[in-house]
Structure 1
Amino acid sequence: MWMFREVIDAFWTPDIWLPPNTKWSDLEPNERVQYTDHRHLFYPLPMAIVVLLIRYLLEKYCFSPFGVSLGIKNTKPKRAPDNVILEETFAKNNKWNHKEVVGLAKRLDWTERQVERWLRLRRAQGKPSTLVKFCESSWRCFYYTFSFHYGFVFLWSKPWLWNIDYCWIGYPHQGTTRDTWWYYMMSLSFYWALAVSQFFDVKRKDFWQMFVHHICTICLLSFSWICNFHRIGTLVLLTHDCGDIFLECAKMAKYAKYQKLCDIVSVIFIIVWLITRIGLFPFWILYSTSVDAPRVVNQMFPAYYIFNGLLFLLLGLHLYWTHLILRIAFISWNSGKIDGDIRSSSSDEITLDDDSNSKIDDINEVLPNGTT
């Protein structure tokens, strides 16, 4: 037991988490200042259950009827006939080349067309219906819209929205307000709910990649809360929520077959993405954390460098996504269409599957004249 206690004490040593000459006792809540409390990070766990319940009720009683009223059908794909040999082959590899198709056709005494049709039906079995995808996008659009407007309204009266230096002035003795507390707890509960719901939703190809993404987001939010970086954290959340609203709206329009609306909203999404993820995030937020913070705080500490490093990793991911988004957009608007997916065996080419749920596949789904 004493060894466990020593490990815990070593983990929470102030030399790692706090600026020099600062102790945890200095940040205990008092009558004047209400500091962040790492113990509050357990609250989003039961809150995530509430989020999942709200999602279920909204999808069943609001989003699904709304989708049906738009003409979206909840039709399930036709099942492929049972075949042990093809199932075993499909389990090992669900992408068959022409040579494999020919071999299976000879083995089963089928035509190549029959084998290809079985493969097409088998792939379609695991895909959600259009109505299910509409409901999922509606839920995410609802949350991002609510989160962005909540954050924008309460940050409007905060000085660090208008002068980002206030994220560091007086640090670490910066109290948190009730609206900031709720902003963080709601965001954490939403991402915990996403991480859990992935195991119950229709599984996509990038299941584990998205799961790791949700966990990394939770870690970044938790880290900023523990280090009392909640002010800069609220700005990061605000700049990231607004773009996803338009992405989900474009997908909803696509599922409802409002192509012109989808085209307009998808263009707005790309513009907002470039402004927030490639403009505001690096030149406003990262500049502040990298240049202004050391100048104002003077003495930095290990946790700061870890936090700032995570933000730069996030920027790297944004740049990678932006490169692919613009490339897909260029192909789409010049060719007039995007095929089912853009594939290549070369590592220099973009590989997209229409049954995954990554950021790039979402873009591929909503670009003008694209196919779902």
Structure 2
Amino acid sequence: MAGILAWFWNERFWLPHNVTWADLQSTEEAAFPQAEDLYLAFPLAFCIFMIRLLFERFIAKPCALGLKVQANGPQKAQPNAILEKVFTAITKHPDEKRLEGLSKQLDWDVRSIQRWFRQRRNQEKPSTLTKFCESMWRFTFYLYIFTYGVRFLKKDFGIMFTHHIVTVTLITFSYVTNLTRVGTLTLCLHDAADVVLEAAKMANYCKCQKLSDLLFLTFAIVFIVSRLGIYPLWILNTTLFELYEALGNFPALWVFNVLLVILQVLHWFWSYLIIKAAYKAISKGKAGKWNPLHVAKDDRSDIESSSDEEETVPRSKTPHSTITTNGTGGANGTNGYLTGGTCSEEH
């Protein structure tokens, strides 16, 4: 095991040639990130989960009810022990052969059984009230994280615009290798747009259409500017060129840059989807009310198509019922590497 760990944490892979793990040990004069600190993520995640439950129940839900957000969900399926057992233990989408078997067993026609399974599937989808509470939590969480990130960055970086949380792998990588400025700037850059998006969704759930449209447009602008402008010109430019000149060549730096480039490819893809959604929304707006969030809506809100009822299925029996950094950042241009500053200052 010791040999495997020594091979995995090989200094020539993770660190520049003039740096060793001993150099990154915290002292009274300087504090550096330690891989062991990442264990704190587990209890922290549990605490955040509990805070979310309390927030949604005692803050978000009363706010939603006060704004008259609908609390009712899809129509519930008629209680039936046999169908419920098939649904929970076997399949939620029975094939034709199973439908025929259930039809004979229950003395129901096939279409009524299809309708029951459709209603039962819809029954598990969250209500508008639940989705509003989720969006209010995300709105509050992203707003706090974004404000916290801006508070601890140096002033010359300004306010970053953001969208999704960067992958756990990228953040962990930046922390372990002491490239914390790149990681924190990328994280901050991906939060601001989420604040606007969740606000737009809340406005949509409250049926404030004009406000929802305005927030959606704001979200699209913030997303594209931050992902296709600030991120490649500021952060990628630094990690691909300036870091190489400052720290030299070592394998972990290439892995780090590959992760950042993959993230940029995702930015292009997501921007394409947003522009496509906005175009469809504007096109529909020519003939009627513009509703961009309905074009790019939450798939969970979809009620399954009633096309199942239009299927040509012979009725065999009578039914019993009918029933969704500037990157480098550090003063010496080395991304905070061995500058002697504290960890909190480098963040």
Q: TM-score, normalised by structure 1?
A: 0.68
Deviations 1:209-235 (A, max 9, x none): xxxx98x82221111000101011111
Please tell me whether residue 128 in structure 1 is matched to residue 126 in structure 2: yes
Is residue 60 of structure 2 the alignment partner of residue 63 of structure 1?
yes
User: 1:43 and 1:115 mapped to 2: Cα distance?
Assistant: 50
* 8 Å Cα contact 2:74-2:123 kept in structure 1: yes
Kindly tell me: are residues 67 and 276 of structure 1, through their superposed partners in 2, closer, same or farther at Cα, counting changes over 3 Å? same
- Summarize deviations over 1:271-313 as a string: whole Å, max 9, x none: 000011111111211111112211222x121111111111111
C-alpha distance in 1 between matches for 2:11 and 2:269:
36
Name the counterpart of 1:228. Answer: 178
What's the CA shift for 1:74? 2.3
2:271 matches 1:322: yes
Q: Following TM superposition, by how much is the alpha carbon of 1:353 offset from its aligned partner in structure 2, in angstroms?
A: 7.2
Quote the residue 1:332 is aligned against: 281
Which structure exhibits the higher relative contact order, with contacts defined as CA atoms closer than 8 Å and separated by 6 or more residues? Answer: 2
Stretches of structure 1 lacking an aligned partner (at least 5 in a row): 163-212, 343-349, 358-371
CA offsets, 1:21-74, max 9 Å, x none?
321111111233211111111112111122112112211111110000000132
Q: Distance in 2 between matches of 1:146 and 1:128?
A: 26
Partner of 1:74: 71
Aligned residue among 27, 50, 70 for 1:30: 27
Which of 238, 247, 255 does residue 288 from structure 1 map onto? 238
Residues 104, 118 of structure 1: alpha-carbon distance in 2 compared, 3 angstrom cutoff: farther
Deviations 1:105-146 (A, max 9, x none): 99876485x566445423311211111111111111101101
The amino acid that maps onto 1:296 is A
User: How far 1:330 moved relative to its partner?
Assistant: 1.1
Structure showing greater Rg: 2
One-letter identity of the residue aligned with 1:261: L
Structure 1 stretches of at least 4 aligned residues deviating more than 4 Å after TM superposition: 83-96, 102-109, 114-117, 337-342
- Which one-letter code corresponds to 1:123 in the other structure? R
Gaps of 5+ in 2: 159-163, 303-323, 325-347
Number of the residue aligned with 2:258: 309
CA contact (8 A) 2:277 2:292 kept: no
Give the secondary structure class of the aligned counterpart of 2:126.
coil
Q: When the two structures are aligned, how many residues end up with a matched partner?
A: 290
Q: Aligned partners of 2:85 and 2:231: how far apart in 1?
A: 47
Q: Which of 228, 253, 267 does residue 217 from structure 2 map onto?
A: 267
C-alpha distance in structure 1 between counterparts of 2:279 and 2:184, whole Å = 33
TM-score by length of 2: 0.73
Taking structure 1 as reference, are residues 47 and 282 closer, same or farther at Cα in structure 2, changes over 3 Å only? same
Query: Match of 1:137?
Result: 135
Q: Is structure 2 residue 221 aligned with structure 1 residue 276? A: no
1:248 equivalent in alignment to 2:193: no
CA contact (8 A) 1:141 1:248 kept: yes
1:176 alignment partner in structure 2: none
